[in-house]
Amino acid sequence: MKNLVILGAGTAGSMMANKLRRRLGPEWSITVVDRDNDHVYQPGLLFVPFGVYRPGELVRDRSSFLPDGVDFVVAEIDTVDAVAKTVSLDTGRTLAYDLLVVATGTRTAPAETSGLTGAGWNESIFDFYTMEGATRLGEALERFTGGRIVLNIVDMPIKCPVAPLEFMFLADHHFHERGIRDQVELVYATPLDAAFTKPRAAAELGTLLERKNIELETDFNTSEVDGVGQVLHAYDGRALEYDVLVTVPLHQGSEWIERSGLGDAFGFLPTHPNTLQVEGLDDVFALGDATDLQTSKAGSVAHFQGDVLIENIERHLNGVELLADFDGHANCFIETGFGKAILIDFNYDTEPLAGRFPLPGLGPFSLLKETAVNHWGKLGFRWIYWNSLVRGLDLPIDHRMLMAGKEA
Amino acid sequence: MMDDTEPTTTATAALTTDQRLDVVEAKLDALASQIQTLVDAQRPILDLASEVGPIADEMMSTGIDQLSHLQDRGYFDLAAEGKYLVDRLVEDYDPSDLHDLADNAANILDTVRMATQPSVMAVIRDAAESFDSARELEPVSPIGAVRRVRKDKNVQRGFAFVLDVLARVGRASARAPRPSRGQLAAAVSHAAPPSRETRRSSAAAAAVGASSTASTTSAGPGPADESAFVPDAEWSREVATATAAAYGVAELSENHWQLIDFVRAQYVSSGSTPNIRKVTKLSGIPTRDIYALFPKAPGKVMAATAGVPKPVGCL
């Protein structure tokens, strides 16, 4: 009997458990570890502050997505010993592995920023990357009758890099609908030098911010938060006063990675960008937000990685050379408010371009353009997520990014 | 049939009440798991139903918004009049005409394309103007016409053109009354390449335009290309000093060099430029000190000065 251990039962871990159970023979036992049994539909968190989704609609049992023939263990991971090939859990249990798949994602670390979790935390300072934060922010927005809302991104990388922009667009829409948009000042403070990193998307999204009268503060590197005086400070001396601060805290890898001495400076796992094998460790593969790869930390990326990883695990077990097939492919819907959304599709080398997706010329989705169809796609995605993606079923979109249908 | 069931019934009868209850329980268990499987199978469908409802509502309301917008713009009035147009077409044309039309589609489009060239349109406009002013023109006698053909170069050219058109009409009428598919195909294949060529070249022109705008957007305040690595042969303290100056850092102290060299070494060894937080974490130099040395966007300025690509924000 051989042991495959999957760390993490989120998007990537559940998907891999399903794929691997179908692919590996009965001589393999599969164990999945996670700290709790709550699988959160994370793309939905963005909508919670605006009352589009209620928290209860976004959480399901992790165990309900795992197939028969997979053991699910609820425990905190203490350390991984890559030499002895064991995983130690906080329950005192030790799991031996022949093959390890790491999918423990990333977590927000608000306490890393001076003053952020002090005075005003969850009263005038909120993050919407947790269910608690998103819910409290929703209550605050309901009470809000006017003033200045500042959103700051502490540092990159973050989960779903477009979510903060989407939050601003949805806030603009929300206050318009309540008829108090002219009483509300919206400020977007980013450490990047534009609304977005890549030129064409940055131009497109920058224009959108301008059109929606959302102020853009670039190169804003948050140093500390004065929760009493309600001022956000940057290292270069800039200060932004706020009535409500919506913060996207610093993101780090899972604590066990640091404890095991396997991660980079921020606890992300150094991973081969194309094969997804963890650098220097033969029997360990990683996917999803846990890696140090230079692509989006997003569910779509985990999905595309899954298609490559399942092949590579099989190759690895058969002693065949790994496919260097993952190209950094990501694709994201960007909600822009008023029932519209933008879709972007890109990879390591190709920035988001205009065009049609997934069928070249036909769509039905339009790339880098605001359309209602994109918005419906975003809403409909929750069903695809619960019923296909997390269950490791094939979606009709290839893991390789296509240039067909794009205007280069 | 009866023979088979008989012993079973007897056997069941022989069981104690407890045993019979066990049998019933086992059957219920099996049934329960089947029901669970059925319920599980329904789940995605129920999910889908609850998801589709609101989306369909939105689609409907967007659709209606769109229709009312079209109505405001008068599209429907136009469409109502359009019905009259269609009626006329139906009266005047029969299905075989449509068949001929299809055969000729490429020819027609080609003709329209040629007829709508600016030069042709200009001639037609002139002719239309001339028609408007026809009443003011002096009538011309046959002899007068001959005189004008002899004297006026413009009339001579026009006359040559009219004769040429007449000759073409004559040639065409001498051929079969309806062109064969082969001829049509030839016409199409003749017509297609230039038009495709034009499309490609205009697309290329558009691409050039797009890339030039893209490069202007990405160009920062500094002089250097922020996405390129400057090899050792082209990078020197002098180059770095000049770059730093262009970004507003006038003088480079030993502390500056420590950071610049660190960033360059990091890029060379790891293949990616560290952002400020990473520099702090790896070098131990506090972020505040980095900002004291490079006050404006230090991540970008340090990278440019060190001759390495600016740190990727990571989409």
pLDDT tens, residue by residue, A357-403: 988 888 889 999 999 999 989 988 988 899 889 999 888 888 888 88
In angstroms, what separates the C-alpha of A141 from chain B's closest C-alpha?
A: 23
Ranges A302-311, B170-179, B298-307: which has the least confidence: B170-179
Q: Which two tokens stand for residue A200?
A: 């064409």
pLDDT at B196: 38
B-chain CB neighbours of A161 within 8 Å are 313-315
pLDDT band at B212 (very low <50, low <70, confident <90, very high): very low
Give the C-alpha separation, A31 to A87, whole Å.
Answer: 11
User: Which residues lie across from A126 on neighbouring strands?
Assistant: A246
Interface of A with B (CB under 8 A): 155-157, 161, 191-193, 196-200, 202-203, 219, 221, 223, 235-237, 250, 265-266, 294-297, 330, 339, 346, 372, 375-376, 379-380, 382-383, 386-387, 407-408
pLDDT band at B10 (very low <50, low <70, confident <90, very high): low
Instruction: Test B210 with A407 for CB contact under 8 angstroms.
Output: yes
Which stretches of A250-391 are DSSP H helices?
Answer: 255-259, 299-317, 372-384
- Are A106 and A290 in contact, with CB atoms under 8 Å apart? yes
Give the C-alpha separation, A236 to A43, whole Å.
Answer: 33
B-chain CB neighbours of A380 within 8 Å are 51-52, 55
Chain B's closest residue to A297, CA to CA, is: B315
Of chain B, the percentage scoring pLDDT greater than 90 comes to 18
Instruction: Test A387 with B62 for CB contact under 8 angstroms.
Output: no
pLDDT in tens, B69-93: 887 887 877 777 888 888 887 788 8
Beta pairing, strands A99-102 & A284-286: parallel
Instruction: Test A235 with B313 for CB contact under 8 angstroms.
Output: no
Q: Which two tokens stand for residue A374?
A: 């994109």
The larger pLDDT score, comparing residue B44 to residue A90, is at A90
Instruction: Test B62 with A203 for CB contact under 8 angstroms.
Output: no
- Are B155 and B148 in contact, with CB atoms under 8 Å apart? yes
Report the pLDDT averaged over residues A183-209. Answer: 92
Q: What is the distance of C-alpha B167 from the center of its chain?
A: 46
A-chain CB neighbours of B225 within 8 Å are none
In angstroms, what separates the C-alpha of B295 from chain A's closest C-alpha?
A: 6
Instruction: Test B296 with A339 for CB contact under 8 angstroms.
Output: no
pLDDT at A65: 95
In angstroms, what separates the C-alpha of A183 from chain B's closest C-alpha?
A: 28
Q: Please give the interface size between A and B, counted as residue pairs whose CB atoms are below 8 Å apart.
A: 99
How many other β-carbons are positioned within 10 Å of the β-carbon of residue A60?
A: 16
pLDDT band at A101 (very low <50, low <70, confident <90, very high): very high
Q: Which residue in this structure is represented by tokens 């139903």? A: B49
Give the C-alpha separation, A236 to B46, whole Å.
Answer: 53
How many other β-carbons are positioned within 10 Å of the β-carbon of residue A402?
A: 16
Of A235, A297, A379, nearest to B287 by CB-CB distance is: A235
Give the C-alpha separation, A266 to A294, whole Å.
Answer: 14
In angstroms, what separates the C-alpha of B22 from chain A's closest C-alpha?
A: 27
pLDDT at B313: 63
pLDDT in tens, B34-81: 888 887 778 888 788 777 877 887 887 788 788 778 878 878 777 778
Q: Is the pLDDT of residue B191 over 60?
A: no
- Are A329 and A402 in contact, with CB atoms under 8 Å apart? no
Report the pLDDT averaged over residues A130-157. Answer: 96
Backbone phi, psi, residue B235, to 5°: -105, 135
A-chain CB neighbours of B220 within 8 Å are 193
B-chain CB neighbours of A297 within 8 Å are 314
Output the CA torsion sign for A390, A394, A395, A399: positive
Of B55, B215, B281, nearest to A376 by CB-CB distance is: B55
Residue of B41, B112, B174, B314 marked catalytic: B314
Report the pLDDT averaged over residues A327-343. Answer: 94
DSSP at A322: P
Q: Which residue in this structure is represented by tokens 């095991």? A: A260
- Are A281 and A97 in contact, with CB atoms under 8 Å apart? no
In angstroms, what separates the C-alpha of A95 from chain B's closest C-alpha?
A: 31
Active site residue B207: no
Which among B270, B291, B315 is the top mutation candidate for probing chain A, defined by the most A β-carbons within 10 Å of its own β-carbon?
B315
In angstroms, what separates the C-alpha of A85 from chain B's closest C-alpha?
A: 27
pLDDT at B121: 83
Give the C-alpha separation, B287 to B294, whole Å.
Answer: 10
Ranges A91-95, A209-213, B176-180, B191-195: which has the least confidence: B191-195
- Are A249 and A125 in contact, with CB atoms under 8 Å apart? no
Chain A contact for B276 (CB, 8 A cutoff): yes
Instruction: Test B278 with A266 for CB contact under 8 angstroms.
Output: yes
Contacting B residues, span 13-52, partner chain A, CB-CB under 8 Å? 43-44, 47-48, 51-52
Chain A contact for B281 (CB, 8 A cutoff): yes
A-chain CB neighbours of B55 within 8 Å are 376, 379-380
Chain A's closest residue to B207, CA to CA, is: A408
Cα dist. A83→A88, A97, A262 in Å?
13, 11, 12
Size of chain A, expressed as the number of residues it contains: 408
B-chain CB neighbours of A383 within 8 Å are 44, 47-48, 51
B-chain CB neighbours of A266 within 8 Å are 277-278, 281
The larger pLDDT score, comparing residue B188 to residue A316, is at A316
pLDDT band at B181 (very low <50, low <70, confident <90, very high): very low
Q: Which two tokens stand for residue A383?
A: 């069903």
pLDDT in tens, A229-263: 999 999 999 999 999 999 999 999 999 999 999 99
Q: Is the pLDDT of residue A43 over 60?
A: yes
Contacts of A330 (CB under 8 A, 6+ apart): A295, A296, A298, A300, A301, A304, A345, A346, A347, B315
B-chain CB neighbours of A219 within 8 Å are 296-297, 300
DSSP A117-144: TSTTBTTTEE-SSSHHHHHHHHHHHHH-
The larger pLDDT score, comparing residue B21 to residue B150, is at B21
pLDDT at B49: 78
CA nearest to A187, candidates A128, A108, A233, A244: A244
Q: Is the pLDDT of residue B219 over 60?
A: no
Give the C-alpha separation, A384 to A393, whole Å.
Answer: 10
pTM given for the model: 0.73
Q: Is the pLDDT of residue A14 over 70?
A: yes
In angstroms, what separates the C-alpha of A67 from chain B's closest C-alpha?
A: 12
Burial A118-143 (b: 16+ CB within 10 A, else e): eebbeeebbbbbbbebbbbbbebbee
Cα dist. A101→A108, A241, A287, A323, B201 in Å?
22, 44, 8, 17, 50
Chain A contact for B55 (CB, 8 A cutoff): yes
**Mean pLDDT of all residues belonging to chain A:** 94
Residue A402's identity, in one-letter code, is L
Give the C-alpha separation, A304 to A302, whole Å.
Answer: 6
Burial A388-397 (b: 16+ CB within 10 A, else e): bbbbbeeeeb
Contacts of A250 (CB under 8 A, 6+ apart): A108, A109, A110, A112, A113, A154, A155, B277
DSSP at A46: G
Instruction: Test A155 with B218 for CB contact under 8 angstroms.
Output: no
Q: Which residue in this structure is represented by tokens 């170069």? A: B153
Q: Is the pLDDT of residue A285 over 50?
A: yes
**Mean pLDDT of all residues belonging to chain B:** 76
